[in-house]
């Protein structure tokens, strides 16, 4: 079986990566590859960088996060550049706890999980290799073996700075097992793994009364006290708390702000001083990145408490807002559905997009600029230009609010509604209207939506519905034309011939009879009227189009019907207006005649073959559009 082979292959690969030797031999490795001595923070940063970085519109995009996190490039850029990068350079932010703050189900846990899994993989590569004192429950950094008074000399020789003191347990082992000969201490390569509790840990507070600090720092092993004689013998201590286990890597602290203060103080001394107190021992050095997450309400109540001021100043808070781009939101839903057991369900085209439109509308804030409504803002954010504004304005819009995207509908709500629709509908196919209906019904039961929000949200549902109506109409009308692009192009070429003749005051030639013709005013007006161009404005519109064409020609660019936004709209509307009657009659006729029936079947198969519908959703779409056109 394939999977068995893979398991075997995996084991062999890991076998090959293994390394064990003496401390003296380890120093040789350092000489060749000094990066193996990097700190946990630096390893995280280099891991992120190893996936590639690119520039886009003045922003850096970190590819590592792009695999699972969509639409948060700016927040991620800030996270990397204000935390991971300087922390890797041993700057002061390293001494603070990283706190991701954002709305529910906005991707915080996903980011942390990615970091953990990324580290696991990275520790299996050459650049990300990690070595530790063999047999140490905390996988202690071998360089701690070098006594403090020799470290300056070591730095001069190698340029490597050593932080942290040898732990009590290893100090004792060096004495007892190696008779003080540190060069003989056994060193091994380790592979970070959350499952095996190597270099990756997760702490989640349970009942504050019963939870013991030992969960973080380990505890006395009473069964061995008799053997070693005393509680202060480090061999009688189990270094198996999350902080011990996460040494060299990363520890996630769930629900941090809900946990008891004593846990927080312990963490702060760890991040601040690089060590923590366990049992009756001297301070234990640890090198790990601590990352926690919280939502805005919890965070506000935490900082409003005076008592927490000192704690607060030792955290670095990074906002993780919701994604604000419709197309990225659609990707999020797709991903979540792929990860669920809904994959057998047919989801009609645009269903997720319409849900995304609704979600994004709930998250945006109204612009202070005149003439930009939420829908326009939504389009601009998604990369579309709208009347009077273009992508250059997006930056200004984003600057209007620093906390946009911290509220609104969350992706999990949408997915839950979609799955409840699926359960209720017996056929495994849902369309945009099903989704919208379900989103709407769910608002009544949503725990954190106020009545005021609810009214707004209902309004956004109807905006999303209107958007869908347009999309649905266009889709059907396109499917009615044998080749939509072709027809649009022909119509535009025809229009431009007449416009050119009109502006240059010459005549056209009939291609068949060579007869001279006046420019066809009726044809030109029938297109221009579609977008409300008045008789007075027609001349300047036509001239503007011609200017645009010659500008394109000068730059060597091809002018097609997509090149001029308003002309495109006019052509489209004209095509659809011509079609409207036939679509209307065909889709709503109760007793279709033979040719109508044939047309409907043709359209349905086009919807299925070219547009991603199945027969259920294609029929539903036709019926719906028919009803829209008859209103
Ligand atoms: N920007 C995003 N890109 C990709 N997936 C996202 C994004 N935002 C949310 N998700 C998806 O939504 C779901 C919930 O996300 P996650 O659990 O990471 O959120 P969270 O911020 O930790 O939420 P909570 O506050 O409830 O713990 C996950 O399936 C996640 O993949
Ligand atoms: Mg979470």
Q: Which residues contact ligand 1 via a Cβ below 6 A?
A: 68-72, 102, 104-110, 295, 323, 332, 336, 411-412
Q: What is the pLDDT of residue 1?
A: 66
Cα dist. 361→88, 295, 356, 443, 460 in Å? 38, 21, 8, 15, 6
Which residues, given as ranges, of the chain have pLDDT below 50? none
Q: What is the pLDDT of residue 498?
A: 92
Torsion of CA 484, 485, 487, 493, to 10 degrees: 160
Cα dist. 466→459, 461, 462, 510, 560 in Å? 11, 9, 6, 43, 29
Q: State the residue for tokens 């707004």.
A: 456
Report which bound ligand comes closest to the CA of 337. 1
Q: What is the pLDDT of residue 607?
A: 93
Model pLDDT for residues 297-308, shown as the tens digit of each residue:
889 998 898 888
pTM of the predicted model, to two decimals? 0.86
Interaxial angle between packed helices 451-480 and 374-381, expressed in degrees from 0 to 180 and rounded to the nearest 10:
60
Q: What is the pLDDT of residue 434?
A: 93
- Spatial neighbors of 476 by CB under 8 A, at least 6 apart, are 583, 587, 603, 607, 621, 622, 625
Tokens of 546: 């011609």
Tokens of 497: 């011939």
**Mutation pick for ligand 1 pocket among 77, 79, 103, 109 (CB with most ligand atoms within 8 Å):** 109
Q: How far is the CA of 411 from the centre of ligand 1 (A)?
A: 7
Specify the DSSP class assigned to residue 84: I
Q: What is the pLDDT of residue 380?
A: 95
Q: How far is the CA of 199 from the centre of ligand 1 (A)?
A: 24
Q: Residue 112 CA: which ligand 1 atom is closest?
A: 18
Q: How far is the CA of 106 from the centre of ligand 1 (A)?
A: 4
Q: How far is the CA of 176 from the centre of ligand 1 (A)?
A: 50
How many Cα atoms occupy the beta-carbon half-sphere of 394 within 13 Å? 16
Q: State the residue for tokens 């416009």.
A: 499
Q: What is the pLDDT of residue 464?
A: 97
CA 599 – CA 580 distance, rounded (Å): 14
**Mutation pick for ligand 1 pocket among 107, 202, 253, 255 (CB with most ligand atoms within 8 Å):** 107
Q: What is the pLDDT of residue 184?
A: 96
Cα dist. 366→371, 375, 397, 398 in Å? 11, 10, 10, 11
Q: What is the pLDDT of residue 208?
A: 64
Q: Residue 336 CA: which ligand 1 atom is closest?
A: 29
CA 413 – CA 104 distance, rounded (Å): 10
Q: What is the pLDDT of residue 463?
A: 97
């Amino acid at each position: 079986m394939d999977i068995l082979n893979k398991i075997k292959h995996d084991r062999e690969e890991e076998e090959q990566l293994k390394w064990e030797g003496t401390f003296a031999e380890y120093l040789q490795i350092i000489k060749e590859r000094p990066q193996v001595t990097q700190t946990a923070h630096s390893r995280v940063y280099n891991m992120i960088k190893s996936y590639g970085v690119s520039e886009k519109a003045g922003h850096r995009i970190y590819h590592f996060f792009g695999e699972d996190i969509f639409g948060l490039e700016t927040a991620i850029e800030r996270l990397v550049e204000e935390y991971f990068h300087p922390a890797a350079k041993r700057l002061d932010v390293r001494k603070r706890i990283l706190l991701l703050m954002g709305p529910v189900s906005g991707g915080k846990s996903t980011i942390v999980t990615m970091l953990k899994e990324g580290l696991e993989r990275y520790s299996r590569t050459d650049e990300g290799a990690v070595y530790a004192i063999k047999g140490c429950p905390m996988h202690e950094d071998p360089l701690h073996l070098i006594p403090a008074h020799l470290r300056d000399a070591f730095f001069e020789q190698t340029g490597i700075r050593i932080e942290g003191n040898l732990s009590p347990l290893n100090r004792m082992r060096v004495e007892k097992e190696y008779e003080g000969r540190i060069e003989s201490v056994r060193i091994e390569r380790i592979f970070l793994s959350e499952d095996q509790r190597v270099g990756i840990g997760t702490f989640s507070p349970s009942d504050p009364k019963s939870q013991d600090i030992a969960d973080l720092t380990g505890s006395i092993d009473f069964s061995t006290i008799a053997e070693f004689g005393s509680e202060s013998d480090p061999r009688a201590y189990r270094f198996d708390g999350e902080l011990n286990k996460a040494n060299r890597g990363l520890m996630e602290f769930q629900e941090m702000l809900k946990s008891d203060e004593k846990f927080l103080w312990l963490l702060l001394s760890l991040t601040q001083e690089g060590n923590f107190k366990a049992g009756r021992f001297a301070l234990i050095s640890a090198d790990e990145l601590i990352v926690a997450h919280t939502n805005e309400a919890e965070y506000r109540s935490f900082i409003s408490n005076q008592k927490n001021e000192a704690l607060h100043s030792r955290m670095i808070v990074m906002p993780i807002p919701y994604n604000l781009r419709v197309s990225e939101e659609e990707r999020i839903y797709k991903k979540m559905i792929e990860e669920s057991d809904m994959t057998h369900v047919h989801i009609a085209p645009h269903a997720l997009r319409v849900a995304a439109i609704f979600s994004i509308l709930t998250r945006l804030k109204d612009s202070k600029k005149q003439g930009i409504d939420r829908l326009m803002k939504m389009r601009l954010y998604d990369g579309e230009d709208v009347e009077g504004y273009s992508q250059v304005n997006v930056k200004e819009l984003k600057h209007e609010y620093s906390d946009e995207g911290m509220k609104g509908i969350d992706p999990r709500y949408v997915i839950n509604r979609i799955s409840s629709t699926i359960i209720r509908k017996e056929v495994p196919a849902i369309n945009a209207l099903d989704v919208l209906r379900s989103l709407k019904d769910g608002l009544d039961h949503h725990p954190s939506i106020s009545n005021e929000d609810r009214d707004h949200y209902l309004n956004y549902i109807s905006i999303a519905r209107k958007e869908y109506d347009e999309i649905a109409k266009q889709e059907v009308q396109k499917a009615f034309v044998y080749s939509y692009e072709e027809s649009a192009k022909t119509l535009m070429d025809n229009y431009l011939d007449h416009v050119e003749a009109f502006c240059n005051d010459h005549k056209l030639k009939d291609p068949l009879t060579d007869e001279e013709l006046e420019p066809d005013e009726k044809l030109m007006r029938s297109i221009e009227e579609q977008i409300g161009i008045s008789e007075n404005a027609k001349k300047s519109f036509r001239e503007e189009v011609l200017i645009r064409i010659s500008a394109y020609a000068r730059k060597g660019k091809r002018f097609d019907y997509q090149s001029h936004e308003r002309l495109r709209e006019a052509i489209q509307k004209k095509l659809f207006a011509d079609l409207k009657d036939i679509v209307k009659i065909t889709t709503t006729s109760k007793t279709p005649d033979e040719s109508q029936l044939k047309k409907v079947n043709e359209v349905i198969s086009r919807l299925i073959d070219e547009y991603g519908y199945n027969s259920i959703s294609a029929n539903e779409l036709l019926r719906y559009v028919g009803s829209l056109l008859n209103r």
